[in-house]
Amino acid sequence: MQSPLIRLRVAAGNPTIVERESANIEAAIKRVTDGYQRALSGWWPMADLNSADLFAFVAHRFDEQTVKVTVTGLPVWLHGDSHSLSLAMETLIRQISERFNLAEVDLAATEDEQGCWVEIGWAGSTAAKPALERWLTQPLPSLGGMRVRDVLDHHAGSDIGQEHRSGHSWLRLPMRKGIEQHYQAKVILPTRPEFYDMALLDAARDIGEKGRQPLRSLTFIVFDTETTGLQPSQGDRMVQIGAVRIVNGRILSGESFNRIINPGRQIPVESIKFHGITDDMVKDKPPLGVVLPQFKAFAADAVLVAHNAAFDLKFLRMHEREFGVTFDNPVLDTMMLSNYLDGPETGHSLDAICDRLGISITDRHTALGDAIVTAAVLMNQIDALESRGITTLEQVIKELDMNMVLHERQRAF
């Protein structure tokens, strides 16, 4: 740079020389800038990221007074740099919310055999393309002036797509899949006994207006428990409750309930094989008398959903009087729904259903992990029910009633 500057000073009155040397300086600055950008994009550490953790970090960067960021859907393992991704996503969300005057934005991750995507969603069917180029060229000062496009190019490219589904617009950012093996090896463990308890439907038979509302408009609390064993009447107790909320057809994975419980008794080795919760892990945790009212407050009057729900509800309801709570919510059982939708001859374990539906299972045999997967199963089952013209809770209960009567008759033979 020194020589061109000297020549400029010497030939200040010669326009031809000034123009030539100015072009040389401009080219040199561009080479330095390009080199700096390459250096920045070349050394970033890349690691596998759980989308739920990444999204939670992004959501915490927003004040709900300006825009509420809601984490939805199932978690996906991504491969990238969490710091740069979170900054790029924050910038995009701020640009989108400002452009369309939004008070709420959703974050989700999806995957298939071809790849995976981070998705930013908002209500309506507005087109993002007219403003997309400006969003991608937004600078990120914390990254030395790199742009949103630079971050996306570093990960899986900035070939962003947009989809419209279920009343929402989704901006889809391509990502790299996690390259480490995070999914647990499929260990064949004995399943819980299946309880087809028709009494589960009692609380939902006379629920008035709620029963006539569309299924997708209802609030569901999908939950699961882990226990010391399979015999609540013989002293077995819960060691974990996990739950996730579904609102307006969206799995709000960022609004979850996850508590480990001190059962007040030793946890058998045979049970630890299933859930991995040990005596050391529960010794400083609250007892059921603290956790059960917390879970009731989380569930409120929503429709409770579980897989093989009679098992989990037995553990909840046997302590209602002791701790002053009542679980009289309407209840749906995804196992009973599977029996109705797919027929009694197919497998109805959670693993079998997920295999049929192509749902990836992570954190199997943890209460929250199983609850989130069960929520995904429920959403698929609602799709199937709607395809049969069954759109309300009242209709579902009527169909399950008849199906369970047939099921019990078949078992009797």
**3-state SS track over 318-350:** CCHHHHCCCCCCCEEEHHHHHHHHHCCCCCCCH
Q: Which residue has the tokens 């934005």?
A: 105
147 pairs with which residues across the strands? 139
Residue 109: exposure state from Cβ atoms within 10 A (0-12, 13-18, ≥19) = buried
List, in order, residues 6 or more apart from 68 with CB less than 8 Å away: 62, 103, 104, 105
Reply yes or no on whether 168 is catalytic.
no
Catalytic residue among 154, 155, 168, 365: 365
List, in order, residues 6 or more apart from 199 with CB less than 8 Å away: none
Residue 193: exposure state from Cβ atoms within 10 A (0-12, 13-18, ≥19) = exposed
Query: Residues 228-264, buried b or exposed e (16+ Cβ, 10 A)?
Result: bbeebeeebbbbbbbbbbbbebbbbbbbbbebbbbbe
Q: Is beta strand 161-165 parallel, antiparallel or unpaired with respect to 219-227?
A: unpaired
In this structure, are residues 156 and 46 in contact, taking their beta carbons and an 8 Å threshold?
no
- Among 279, 281, 261, which Cα is nearest to 269's? 279
In this structure, are residues 52 and 76 in contact, taking their beta carbons and an 8 Å threshold?
no
Could you give the CA distance from residue 171 to residue 117 in angstroms, rounded to a whole number? 9
Query: Residues for the chain: how many in total?
Result: 413
CA distances from 197 to 308, 335, 382 (A): 9, 11, 21
Q: Which residue has the tokens 């400083």?
A: 284
Could you give the CA distance from residue 196 to residue 208 in angstroms, rounded to a whole number? 25
Residue 44: exposure state from Cβ atoms within 10 A (0-12, 13-18, ≥19) = middle
Residues serving a catalytic function are: 365
